[in-house]
Amino acid sequence: MNDLHRAVSSESEELILVDVDDNELGHASKALCHDGAGILHRAFSLFLFNAAGELLLQQRAATKRLWPGYWSNSCCSHPRRGETLEIATARRLSDELNICATIEHVYHFCYTAEFGEAGSENELCHVYLGRVDGDVRPNDSEIDALRFVSARQLDDALASEPDRFTPWFIQEWRVLREQYGERLRRYAM
């Protein structure tokens, strides 16, 4: 099957339930983790920059249950039962973008966000920065579009049209800019 069209996740995959200190508490299906107000589970967000210092943004596929068609960070997902963050991030970079990348962990935080009747995010999310080199080939079962933007272009877009972006991305970008600016400047120009 072509890597650009294959399904890489399902509502039945088991995610890792955690407490606010990121201690593992058990497992539950992705569907259950996102139903109603959600159940706190481990997640990650990757911010990948090209050599020009531009951030790779993805537009989530229209078929996504939560925030379909919204713009978000380069790659985000969840470790599955039995996976470390290192294994899960590498898997999703391959699954979504058909690339490998070197990434560095920056911080983690808890957040919740509701998407109407469709469900909620209730996550302890680990945020990473990294560099992308070479061709990015998005998997269209996960991503409708990609684009690279400068930090200034992103700031302008978030100020003028925040409702086009996922809530976790908006929050993560703000924290990266305000609290981790020195680390961010190693990647973004």
Q: Is residue 28 part of a domain?
A: yes
Give the total number of structural domains in the chain.
1
Residue 7 lies in a domain: no
Domain membership of residue 156 (yes or no) is: yes
In the chain, pLDDT over 90 holds for what percent of residues? Answer: 90
Whether 126 is in a domain gets the answer: yes
Using alpha carbons, select from 77, 81, 182, 183 the residue that is nearest to residue 139: 77
Give the pLDDT of residue 7: 65
Is residue 40, in this structure, part of any structural domain at all?
yes
Report the pLDDT value the prediction gives residue 4, as an integer from 0 to 100: 63
**What are the tokens at 82?**
């039995």
How many CB atoms are closer than 10 A to CB 70?
Answer: 18
Q: What is the mean pLDDT of the chain?
A: 94
List CB contacts of 31: < 8 A, sequence separation 6 or more: 11, 12
Q: Which residues are catalytic?
A: 76, 123
Q: Is the pLDDT of residue 181 over 80?
A: yes
Domain assignment of residue 4, yes or no? no
Identify the band that residue 27 occupies on the pLDDT scale cut at 50, 70 and 90. very high
CA distance 163 to 115: 12
- Phi first, then psi, for residue 161 (nearest 5°) are -140, 60
Read off the amino acid at residue 115.
F
Q: Which domain holds residue 24?
A: 14-185
Asked if residue 33 belongs to a domain, the reply is: yes
Q: Tell me, what CATH number does 104's domain have?
A: 3.90.79.10
